[in-house]
Structure 1
Amino acid sequence: MQIQVLKSKVHRAVITEANLNYVGSLTLDQDLIDAAGMFVNEKIQVVNVNNGERIETYLISGGRGSGVCCLNGPAARKGMEGDVVIIISYGLIDVKEAKDWQPVVVFPKEGNRL
């Protein structure tokens, strides 16, 4: 049997912009994507600490070192610049492996930098 577990998360990034007129997704600094072991186009959950909103979308690469964390398309209605978010990805693993599983957690510093 397999279960879904926390694979990785970026804990307490700050939204730098919200772009309602984009197709959809979350644009995130590529350095944060790499540090968290996430992938461009990966399905993610974004949890907004400020307002309790929780959305599912996918990742788009932002410039390395840019600090970008941009809600795009309809997701832009779920948060605003300055809101704190947790970006979560999940994975399926064998239940036998779950007992020893350790997710990757990234804690960005000011400006969404590593």
Structure 2
Amino acid sequence: MLRGKIHRARLTGADLNYEGSIEIDSSLMEAAGIIPFEQVDIWNITNGERFSTYALSAPRGSGTVAVNGAAARRVQPGDEVIITAFGWMSEKQAQHWKPHVVFVDRENRLKPGPHVRRMLATR
């Protein structure tokens, strides 16, 4: 099941020589329910590439969304991406599940409003 999603983030960097990962502004990670070192899928809206890596926290409020390591060959700064995290749960849990879905502006700041959905308090 989809646990969390950051929709249309703009890449701020791509570092081929770093060991791997995607660095994400910690405020975005928190809002989407993504934790450090969690596996995430990246869907590049700009060029259609899809790949998996793990999330690292970037400074809160920085707007950083940067792909590192070999996956940097699949992106360019300025590309728009969707970042998702999935998890397993029972069918009973899934029936009442609401994922964290967050939208951002062109500077990767959270857009406030009802479209920012949170999972149910009952887990």
How big is the shift at 1:109?
A: 1.5
Residue-pair matches, total: 110
Structure 1 partner of 2:77: 81
Aligned to 2:94: 98
Please name the residue that 1:62 is paired with: 58
> 2-side partners of 1:51 and 1:109: how far apart?
20
Return structure 1 stretches of 4+ with deviation > 3 angstroms. none
Correspondence for 2:6 among 10, 14, 29: 10
Aligned-partner residue type, residue 113 of structure 1: R
Aligned counterpart, 2:49: 53
Give ranges in structure 1 of 5+ residues lacking alignment.
none
TM-score by length of 2: 0.87
CA shift digits 1:64-94 (9 cap, x unpaired): 1000000100010111011000000001110
Which has the larger displacement, 96-105 or 8-17? 96-105
Q: Which one scores higher on RCO, CA 8 angstroms, separation ≥ 6? A: 1
Residue 110 of structure 1: how far off its partner (Å): 2.4
2:87 match: secondary structure: strand
- Return the match for 1:40 from 36, 41, 44: 36
Match of 2:119 in 1: none
What 5-or-longer segments of structure 2 have no aligned partner?
111-123
TM-score by length of 1: 0.94
The structure with more strand, counted as a fraction of residues = 1
